Homo-oligomer: A and B are copies of this chain.
Amino acid sequence: MATHRFRPTRYHNVIGTAEPCLRVADGDTVVADTIDASGLDAREVTVWERPNPMTGPFFVEGAEPGDTLAVHIERLTPSRATGWTYSPLALTVLDPAAIAERPAAERAVWDIDLAAGSVRLREPPPSLAGFAPKLQPMIGCFGVAPARGQALSTSTSAQNGGNMDYRLFAPGTIAWFPVSVSGALFYLGDGHACQGDGEIVGTGIETSFEMTVTLRVLKRTITWPRGQTADDIFTIGNARPLDQALQHATTEMLHWLAEDYGLDARAASHLMGQVVRYDVGNVFNPAFTVACRIAKRWLR
């Protein structure tokens, strides 16, 4: 179980089947630098172009099509003291009638205070003086090579993962992705220091990171990304409209409850009907993301 310290010199704007940047064994840990969504690195120098430049791909030995890649998110540490966001709200989350009165797009800088564990607008309007939400690092975009030679923009998402912008892809979470090519070809990046549901300003607090993940191969097959936190299991659907993303996530959960928890479709519906939670990931980019989540305490 080796640990690899990886410092990329090139990045990727599609998740596809690029030449691996590193081969790792099943169970190895990778400590990798990632740059922010607009290509700024830890020194705030633009080293790559938009959107969401990815570090990778990592070839995981033993991973074959039909397998599952487990990504243990061990640690996400911002590698610089500032991040940025857009404002105002994205076009996709506004009533069309409200769009005409939307102010012009702007970029704002946030200070990231690792010691205090919080983030702050550098130049807050008076109405937001003192607004300092908690630092809550998360991975905006990660996943594995899609099937059949596709190369998908890092602005979107699909069955292989991608730009899901889901808050629970955070330290302590294990994410699972369906493997479509030998070696899985794992990409990661687009770290956020903080982000509400939906990535509704079109960004989280975008910054560069040092990300530590452990990669394991499972000899089982899944269809959509799955995950677990200390408290919950969840499944992910990526599609548009949101209704379809929700359908994918719900159906994947139904499969999971059958496979691992012995719940047939009727029993699963009795459980889910009372305890299911839906979370909204990205509602900014081409495909939208919905998570279907169940607390572990309801499962045996």
Contact = CB atoms under 8 A, between A and B. Distances in A.
A102 B100 contact: yes
Nearest to A275: B196
A199 B91 CA distance: 23
A150 B153 contact: yes
A226 interface: no
A280 interface: yes
B271 A85 contact: no
Contact of A149 (B16, B148, B274): B16
Contact of A262 (B89, B127, B205): B127
A85 B85 CA distance: 42
Nearest to A98: B251
Interface stretch (A27-35, A66-74, A240-248): A240-248
Given A103-B265, A195-B274, A264-B125, A250 B89 contact: yes
A125 B266 contact: yes
Contacts of A150: 14, 151-153
A223 to B, nearest CB: 9
Contact of A205 (B99, B267, B274): B274
Contact of A201 (B88, B94, B200, B273): B273
B243 A278 contact: no
Interface residues of A, number: 84
B95 A251 contact: yes
Nearest to A286: B239
A259 interface: no
A97 interface: yes
Contact of A197 (B200, B264, B276, B283): B276
Contacts of A261: 127
Given A195-B273, A241-B242, 16 more contacts: A12-B149, A14-B149, A85-B274, A88-B269, A89-B250, A94-B247, A94-B251, A96-B99, A101-B265, A133-B275, A148-B153, A151-B151, A196-B274, A198-B276, A204-B273, A239-B286
21 contacts: A16-B149, A85-B274, A87-B266, A87-B270, A89-B254, A91-B97, A92-B96, A95-B247, A98-B251, A102-B265, A121-B270, A124-B270, A125-B270, A149-B151, A150-B151, A196-B274, A197-B276, A201-B273, A204-B273, A278-B279, A280-B280
